[in-house]
Chains A and B, each alone.
Chain A
Amino acid sequence: MDSLITAIRVVPLEHYLVLSFLLFSIGMAGALLRRNILIVIMCLELMLNSVNLLMVAFSAFHGDAGGQVMVFFIMLVAAAEVTVGLAILVHLKRNTDGVDINTLNRLKW
């Protein structure tokens, strides 16, 4: 475990910050721009995983295990969340025969 933490610390913290911000932005752009709901859900997962990366990096640099415990909680909750999301999507698919986000236009103003 110690060798792993030293390995993480070889790369400066700024690099982890920049990488996870990049991943977060890519996920955000995808979630906002893509029309296929499955891909939107994938992009949301990417956003959550960029946070996981940041948590682990901070945890190694602070020498505090709390961040890694948090990552487990995030993975668990993300799995539960996406389960619910996919179930809702299956119902939408049955009712409208498609996974295009533009079918969500019945409720406005």
Chain B
Amino acid sequence: MSALILISVLGVLVLYVGLFGRKDMLAPVGILGVLGAIALFATGWHIPHELLGGMLEFDGFSTGFSLAMLAITLLVFLFGPDYYARMANNVAEQYALMLFSLCGGILLTAYNNMLMLFLGIEVLSIPLYVLAGGKKYSLRSNEAALKYFLLGAFATAFLLMGIALLYGLTGSFDMGVLAKHIAEAGTGSALLRFGIFFVVAGLAFKLGAVPLHFWVPDVYHGAPTLVTMFMATVVKMAAIAGFFRFVDITGMPDPLARILVLLTLATMLVGNISALRQTNFKRLMAYSSVSHAGFMLLALLSDSGTEAGNGADVGRTLLYYSFTYALATAGLFILFIIAKRANNGDEHHQIFRGLFQTKPWLALCGLAMLLSLAGIPLTAGFVAKYQVFLLAIGAGWLKVMGFGVLMALLGIYYYIMVARELFMASEEPVTFTVSPLNGLVIAACTIGVLLLGIWPQLVGVWA
């Protein structure tokens, strides 16, 4: 709780620092605050505790996810001063809104009550609508923000409808009461089926699962790149954590689990197929995030239906999967911003050309992160996918797992396409300027990805 309060107060503090015009102090204050929150979480991670009369429940899973999200936010903030260097006004708001959004994410990892689920999703989303429209005079950014807002509000209405129906069934917003009701009365009731369907629709939208993924490429493309990086990493982790808690607590008995199977299959298929034909790097990363959401849903599936009950394993796997995915994605986005600057704002894959000739270490870092996303052995991405497939076999989802393997193989293609550009020589000389801090952040992401690949237990100690 103290960490949650610290982050929200930190957001207000950053706004005040901005008010007094100390733009140079924004990122340091934010970074110190996030480090403080990490310390607060890390000291109390092993003691499960309930807050607000049982509405929030911090156990190993939620603390692990919160720590991972804080760590990725730290990377975003470390890159922040560079990204906002040319922006004169309203920089403090960008940091503050990210911190507020992070608060919602932490609520999502720990909710035990549907009121907190709703508040978490909204606190996570509303700052993002503003952040996506961060470039006030860019039509593309306006469009992304408005699309995200309209579709997000639409999804919220569905989520609320589901919560209302489940409330009508049990007379309580508590998730424990709902789980007890399902265990005792079964899944025959129409209120329950419609309620779960609507709630899953709302959660799937936030996660970007097909068929509710259509906002992902547009919003990722239109939003300022640092915000895209935040959305693709921290917000994705919060969404999958929220989704997992819902599936884990309700157990999703058999007829309900079918929705999840359909979601998983569609997400893996559409995400990977659509990514194949992308030439814009931001859109490629958007579809890559959709396909990774599909693999995370596959892990979720192993905790539903008749096989429900291996929640701890699934939670650990999800934490490992989403953290390694977020690390590689964050590093690649920073690399992308550097290459985009060197090419006057072009966003196609070709901007990476000539990187190996001028900055070989950077190109090798980029290669390691791309291979991790593709799931090549010796990187964390491989171990993550392997664990997900292992869980799916253990839970008896053999056919879905086979389809997942096929899609993972397909996915390698478009990551290799980008990796090829890293090593190609460019026609005209391009100068990539990398500040030492940026190089350090990219190196940290790469080392994280490689280290977690060799030593996967590193994440396991949290959850």
A contact set with B: CB distance below 8 Å: 17, 20, 24, 27-28, 31, 37, 40-41, 44, 47-48, 50-51, 54-55, 58-59, 61-62, 64, 66-67, 69-70, 73-74, 77, 80-82, 84-85, 87-89, 91-92, 95-96, 103-104, 106-109
Contact = CB atoms under 8 A, between A and B. Distances in A.
Contact of B140 (A61, A80, A81, A106): A106
Specify the main secondary structure of chain A where it touches its partner. Answer: helix
Counting chain A CB atoms within 10 Å of each CB, the highest count among B144, B156, B160, B164 belongs to B164
Contacts, number: 126
Interface of B: 115, 118-119, 122, 126, 129-130, 133, 136-137, 139-140, 142-147, 149-150, 153-154, 156-157, 160-161, 163-165, 167-168, 171-173, 217-218, 221-222, 283
Contact of A73 (B118, B143, B164): B118
A77 B122 contact: yes
A61 B169 CA distance: 11
A107 B143 contact: yes
B151 to A, nearest CB: 10
B150 A40 contact: yes
A108 B146 contact: no
Given A37-B150, A88-B129, 9 more contacts: A31-B154, A51-B164, A55-B167, A66-B115, A69-B115, A70-B118, A70-B167, A73-B119, A88-B149
Counting chain B CB atoms within 10 Å of each CB, the highest count among A37, A41, A61, A66 belongs to A66
Contact of B167 (A58, A81, A87, A103): A58
B218 A48 contact: no
A70 B173 contact: yes
Contact of B115 (A73, A82, A85): A73
Contacts of A62: 168, 171
Counting chain A CB atoms within 10 Å of each CB, the highest count among B136, B145, B149, B156 belongs to B149
Nearest to B174: A66
B129 A108 contact: no
B12 to A, nearest CB: 16
Given A66-B172, A85-B129, A88-B146, A108 B218 contact: yes
Contacts of B130: 84, 87-88
